[in-house]
Every structure is written in C-alpha cells, then in structure tokens.
Amino acid sequence: MTGFDVPPVAFFLLGAALLPWLPAVGRAGVCVLFPLLALVHVSLLTEGAELAVPFLQYELVLLKVDGMARMFGIAFTLVAVVAGIYAWHMRELKQQLAAMLYAGGALGVVFAGDFFTLLVFWELMAVASALLVWAGGTDRAGAAGLRYLLVHLLGGSLLLAGIVMEVYTSGDLSVRAFAEEFSPGSLLILLGVLVNAGMPGLHAWLPDSYPKSTVTGSIFLNAFTTKTAVYVLAVCFPGWEVLFVCGLIMALYAVSYAVLANDIRLILAYHIISQVGYMVAAIGIGGELGLNSAAAHAYNNILYKTLMFMGAGAVLFAVSETRLTHLGGLFRKMPWVVVLYLVGAAAISGLPLFNGFVSKSMVMDAVYGRDLGYSLLALASVGTFLSVGIKLPYYTWFYRETPRELDAVGKPPVNMIVAMGILALICVAYGLWPAWQYAQLPYGVDFTAYRTDLVVKAIHIPLGTFVVFWFFRHKILGEAKIVLDTDWFYRKPASNIGGLILDGVNRFFGACESGLDRLIVQRIVPPFRNPIKALGFKSGQGDHYDPDMDRTSLGSAVGLTLLVMVVALVLSL
C-alpha cells in the first residue's frame, strides 16, 4: 500500500459533503473537478493495490485493484466528468448531491474487495438513483421512483440474504468467483444482481423510471446501475452457462420493445437492457475472450449510450417533449445535436470506425460457434439499428407530417453540446485506434477487429435494415399509445390488491373500534359517571354525580387518605 491507495469513492463523498456549503456556480465546478480528480487517481492506481481495515473478526477491503475493476473505474469516472459538464447549467442541489453519491456508490462497488463493503455501496446507489427519479418532479416520477426503490430494496435484500448464507457456510467475506454449481447463497446473490442488470421479469423498473427522470438525471441513471451489475457478474459468475441464456433473452426481449416504443428516452432505456444482454451472454461464455469482450462492450456502452441520452435530453430541454409522434423537423434548430447523436447511434449499431464496432465484434467472435446464440444476437443487432439508428433520429429530427413552428423551439446550452462532443470524439478515437482500448482490458488480447469478415457483416446488416425501413418509413412510426411490459402484473392489479388489503385492514379495525366502543362506553364508563352511587354509598336520584346530594362526609375522606398513606408506608418498608 502507498499513500495514494485510497478508494476513489472518497473523492465523490468529499465533493458531496462540500456541495451544500457552496454557491450554485461553485457546486457545478465541484461536480466536474472532483470526478476529474477521481479519474486521474483511478488511472494511476496499480494492479494489486489494496486497502483493508479490521471489522469484528473480518477485514473490510475498501480498495482492491485488478484489471477489471480499473477498467470499469475509468469508465465510471470519465462519464461522471462529462456528465458534470453536461449538467453545468443545472443548479438544483438535490440532483447534484444525488448524482455525486450515485457515481461514488458505483465506484465503491467496483473497488470493493468484500461483500459487506459492496452491499453498503450497492444500497447507496439504490437510494441516490431513486432521488434522481423523484427529481423529475411530476406525479408520475414520484410513483415511478417509489416502484424503483421498492424493486431495488428487493434486489438488495436478495443480495444480503445470499451474502449471509455464503459467509455462514464458508466464513469467507471476500468478493470472489463462485463455482458453477448452485448453492442457496450464490443463487440469491445472482438473483439480486440480475435485478440491477435488468433481466426480463426483473427489469420493468428501468423503462418505468428512466424516462421520467430529469434531463440530466437520466444521463447518470444510464451509466451506473446496470454496468455495476455487469461488473459483479463478471467477477462472481464467469462462465456460468445460465448467463449466456439470460443474455440472449435480454438482448432480444428488450430490443423488441424498443422497436415498438414511441418515447425516445423509453427506446433508449430498453436498449440499455438489450446491450447489457450482449455483455451478460459474453460473461456466460467465460474465458479471457468472453470477459474481455464483456468489459470492452460495457466500457463502450457507457460512452455511446450516455451520448445518445444526452441527445435525447437536449431535445427534451428544447421542446419539453420526447414522443416521436409529437416531434420531427428539429434538425435546423439543433444540427450539432443530430450529428453528435448519430455518432452514438453508429457506435451502438456496431458500424466500423466507431468504438461499438470493436467491442460488439469481440462479443460476436466469442459467441461464434454457438450457432443459435450467434443468430439471435445478430437479429438483435437488426432491431438495434432499426430503432435507435434510424427510427429515433429520423422521426425526431427530420420527418414531419405537418410543419412545426420552430420559433418556439429552445436552444440547448453550450455545455450540453460540449459534453456530447467530448464523448463523440472518444467513441471515434477508440473506433479508429482499438489498440488504445485493448491496452485497458483485464486480460491479454489476441483479437483483430478490422478483419474482412467482421467488417462485411457489420456493414451489410445495417444496410439491409435501412433499405427496408426506407420503403416503409411512412408506416413504421405507429401510434401514440402505452405498451405495458411485465410491470402490468403489479401495476394493473395494484389498486384491487391495495383495496383488498386496505379495506380488509380497515374493516378489521372498524370492528375492533365498535367492540371497544360497546365495551367501554356502554359497560365501563357509566359507573364512573357517579362513582359514589357505584360504590353503594348514599346517592342522589340521577346517574351523574351531584356535589350536593352525593358528597361524602369529611371523616370518610380523611380516613381514606390515611389508609392510602399507611399502605404506601408499609410497601416502602
């Protein structure tokens, strides 16, 4: 250990602690400066660096550096810096605090060497990200934030239960790879992590909440939760065949909903799940190529997907609308936004010369030989290019059935464009010089992205998809409607179930109240209205106490007082 081997999360926690004491401009500077310091720090960390502190009979490892952790740490801090630039104009303290704690929590998870530390930062992420959803400020954002938090508390509870079982069984608290055989503990940990990864059936929180966050909040939400889950899966469950199947399901299921979606941020939210599916499938394959391709694709996805969310945020900032059926014709008002978004779209579609091509080619090369899996991921690539590569930009910035009044369209702040430009430049740089990324991968690389077969496949699939889209472009937009996902199973019957539970509880307490009313009011209270009469002393005619008719003698009162004093004295002795 050296003097500089401190957890990178410390920079974010320190920055968050300073925010409430600073003016608005100072807070914006902190949200860029401290992530930048963390980025430099992570870049200088050496593999094998470790910081541990004693805790009961265990050691908590707050910092453990290896190739995988370092690569994810660079990606997280880099995107935090650029997101801070993108949000420079935003002055809301609550969002700034939540964003700093959220990014810090992600770094805490990545560099945690024990499960207790990992769980603490995992829960910090859940609370901070829920605050970003609630910052949307609408009733829908409030309800979605509550559902989001409840789902992640469920995932955290599964993770905690699994950790307790594993520690009880093995006595080992360290974050480690589990043998590919289900135990109760490892199964619960896997389920808890898959909640954050967005596995279909456990995923509805993501498309439900991300589109309802603020313009800047969704930028942070896109980058951290699902990618930390990918990191934990890569470290704890490499080569688990079940993850290969899960990844295929994620890639196809989510891209199908993305093709149907009408809201631009909803489309991008579903594509988070679909792209994570590629990573999960690669982790399921395992081996150095599988883990390298998963890490590379996660790294690149953080970059180009954040760039695309920034484009969607710029549209929302300018017109306060994100539905494709209500957009169109915006190119003249925000040409730079369109150009920079298309860089991200080309990258996510796996086109040559962009970083997504490098990592997606690695994933497909790792999958090669598993014919069904390879074909399904290729099919998901078609849906990806169709939805976010063509449909979203065409109907957002170009196509318009009726002319839009452009005078009312706002202009995104310069800092938004600058942030998008930085990410676009990085996406192109990694695409042109993939060796830069190979050098960051956790394992040695024996792979060449720009092979003829890979380049041809990467071009002909999008080209064929574009031709089909162009012929049907006037019909593919669809209608403005809500398409429910698996959240239907808890949102649709929620009112009935809630009514059943609440009505039943209300009826129970109502019956208890009526019974107590009859017991107390009708049986117990009446004697106390005239206690003298109730005790058999001479009383007036009425039920209520009459001070003239029902007063006892002075001797009786004095005698009763003396009796009480004698009893108290005896008890005290």
564: pLDDT strictly greater than 70? yes
| Phi, psi angle pair for 7, to nearest 5° | -60, 130
Q: Output 182 or 425, whichever has higher pLDDT.
A: 425
In angstroms, what CA-CA distances link 79 with 275, 306, 430, 503? 18, 8, 15, 48
| Phi, psi angle pair for 51, to nearest 5° | -135, 120
pTM of the model: 0.85
Report the first-to-last Cα separation within the chain, whole angstroms.
68
| Phi, psi angle pair for 375, to nearest 5° | -65, -40
By mean pLDDT, which of 16-20, 21-25, 290-294 is the weakest? 21-25
Q: Output 388 or 552, whichever has higher pLDDT.
A: 388
Q: Is 245 exposed, middle or buried (0-12, 13-18, 19+ CB in 10 A)?
A: middle
Tens digit of each residue's pLDDT (9 = 90 or more) over 295-332: 999 999 999 999 999 999 999 888 888 888 888 888 88
Q: Is 497 exposed, middle or buried (0-12, 13-18, 19+ CB in 10 A)?
A: exposed
443: pLDDT strictly greater than 60? yes
DSSP string, 297-328: HHHHHHHHHHHHHHHHHHHHHHHS--BGGG--
Q: Tokens 């430099």: give the residue.
A: 40
Chain centre distance of CA 2: 34
* pLDDT given for residue 498 in this prediction: 57
Tens digit of each residue's pLDDT (9 = 90 or more) over 79-126: 999 999 999 998 899 999 999 999 999 999 999 999 999 999 999 999
* pLDDT given for residue 261 in this prediction: 87
- Inter-residue contact 113 to 174 (CB < 8 Å): yes
Percentage of the chain beyond pLDDT 90 is: 56
Distance CA 226, CA 248 (A): 16
* pLDDT given for residue 105 in this prediction: 96
Residue 375, both tokens: 């074909």
Q: Tokens 């929302």: give the residue.
A: 316
Pairing of strands 50-55, 58-64: antiparallel
Tens digit of each residue's pLDDT (9 = 90 or more) over 377-386: 999 998 898 8
- Inter-residue contact 274 to 258 (CB < 8 Å): yes
By mean pLDDT, which of 195-199, 439-443, 558-562 is the weakest? 558-562
Distance CA 121, CA 114 (A): 11
Q: Output 204 or 74, whichever has higher pLDDT.
A: 74
* pLDDT given for residue 148 in this prediction: 92
Q: Output 372 or 484, whichever has higher pLDDT.
A: 372
Distance CA 521, CA 533 (A): 18
533: pLDDT strictly greater than 80? no
* pLDDT given for residue 552 in this prediction: 59
Mean of pLDDT values over 133-147: 90
Mean of pLDDT values over 148-153: 92
Distance CA 12, CA 45 (A): 17
pLDDT band at 1 (very low <50, low <70, confident <90, very high): very low
